[in-house]
Amino acid sequence: MTERLFRFEKTLAGLERKGRRRALLPHDAIDFTSNDYLGLANSPRIKSAIAEALERGVAVGSGGSRLLRGNHPEHQALESDAAAFFGTERALHFSSGYSANTALFSTLPQRGDLIVHDALIHASAREGIAASRAQAVLARHNDVASFDEAIRTWRQDGGMGHPWIAVESLYSMDGDRAPLAELLALAERYDGFLVVDEAHATGVFGPNGRGLAAAMEGRDNVIQLHTCGKAIGVSGALVAAKAVICDYLVNRARAFIYSTAPSPLMAACVREALKILVDEPQRRSEFEQLWRFANGQMLAQLGAPASGSQIMPVMIGDNCRALGIAARMRAEGFDIRAIRPPTVPEGTARLRIAITLNVDRPAIVRMFERLSAISIEEGV
């Protein structure tokens, strides 16, 4: 290996020693790891929506950024439908949740403002925060007093701008919920904004799957991010907010301005998925029964407390041990992945079990039975 490449191999070898090297794995076992919560990724209705869109001449590619030739009527139709669905003045379509979070936090908070973000917020939000001109501080996970203290201290030190409170409504690695009502009250008290990443709640919780912050829709100080690649089953993301906020992003968010627009076909698919959420409420009710059943099995088989959602972490601690157990579960036909630092804090490597409508109760029972047996054998 040449010296030019050796530095990369050396880094990879170090990750291997720490049990932190990543690899791409096939999905050839029963799905206990995806975010396709409502089973829409393979929905016949969405497939039909693609076929129908192609038949009426919708292009596969957008051909450019939204500000150039890439602003397709399908994008505009989706944004209109999404604004009505999520009860906001406007919605803005991004190619991914990552780019949307990057755009939000690098653009909206201004110099002199303060961003207070939960310790476990998505990496994409952290990227945007790092690029922001505003001061940023971390708050303890789901600790309203910690958010309050950070803002109060900033004000006492002369902070004169607006605070921005940044959270996920349902946390992606722990499956617990943010205290949204208390955080909104905090934002109101300090004349601030609340940014809610609904990635793992959209489609699953709230009226018609509008998320855990549905009761806050339309407020001028609440911005919601709804990803389209999880329960909605397609790809991309929607920022739901006041019209002036979305227009500001169109004019100032580099992640929006300089990105090729999402495929118009994907916009058509998301439109159909939003209709499915309204037309097929039984998906959500069936799904809730399923993840509640899985929570019960986790308590019964592993003695682990229920998360109260479809995301159930099994804490292992050691990186290599988590990898080993996940590999054994995949070998027995259950696709479960190990989550390690830096995605989660040091010493909290875990198995992330995600329940979707792609599994049934017998599969859940078998999975937990095997996981319990393997955990005992591994000394967990």
* Residues ≥6 apart with Cβ < 8 Å to 157: none
Quick check: helix, strand or coil at residue 23?
Answer: coil
**Selected catalytic residue, list 93, 117, 122, 162:** 122
**Selected catalytic residue, list 148, 230, 335, 358:** 230
Q: Respond yes or no: is residue 230 known to be catalytic.
A: yes
Q: What is the DSSP letter of 169?
A: S
Round to whole Å and give the CA distance between 380 and 320.
12
**Selected catalytic residue, list 200, 307, 319, 358:** 200
Q: Respond yes or no: is residue 162 known to be catalytic.
A: no
Quick check: helix, strand or coil at residue 65?
Answer: strand
Main-chain phi, psi angles of 44, to 5 degrees: -60, -35
Contact call for residues 94 and 237 (beta carbons, < 8 A): yes
Q: Respond yes or no: is residue 18 known to be catalytic.
A: no
Q: Which two tokens stand for residue 27?
A: 């999905």
**Selected catalytic residue, list 197, 198, 272, 335:** 197
- Measured N-to-C along each axis, helices 144-156 and 180-189 cross at an angle, to the nearest 10 degrees, of 10
Round to whole Å and give the CA distance between 109 and 221.
12
**Selected catalytic residue, list 106, 124, 172, 309:** 172
Helix (H) / strand (E) element for 222: namely: strand 222-227
- Sheet with 337-339, side-by-side order of all strands: 311-317, 349-354, 337-339
**Rounded-to-10 torsion of CA 359, 361, 363, 365:** 140
Q: How far is CA 292 from the centre of its chain?
A: 20
Round to whole Å and give the CA distance between 368 and 364.
6
Among residues 45, 104, 3, the alpha carbon closest in space to that of 276 is found at: 45
Q: Respond yes or no: is residue 75 known to be catalytic.
A: no
Contact call for residues 190 and 151 (beta carbons, < 8 A): yes
**Selected catalytic residue, list 79, 81, 113, 168:** 168
Distances (CA, A) of 59 to 69, 140, 143, 263: 12, 46, 47, 8
Whose structure tokens read 């804490």?
315
Q: Respond yes or no: is residue 182 known to be catalytic.
A: no
Quick check: helix, strand or coil at residue 100?
Answer: helix
Q: Write out the catalytic residue numbers.
A: 35, 122, 168, 172, 197, 200, 230
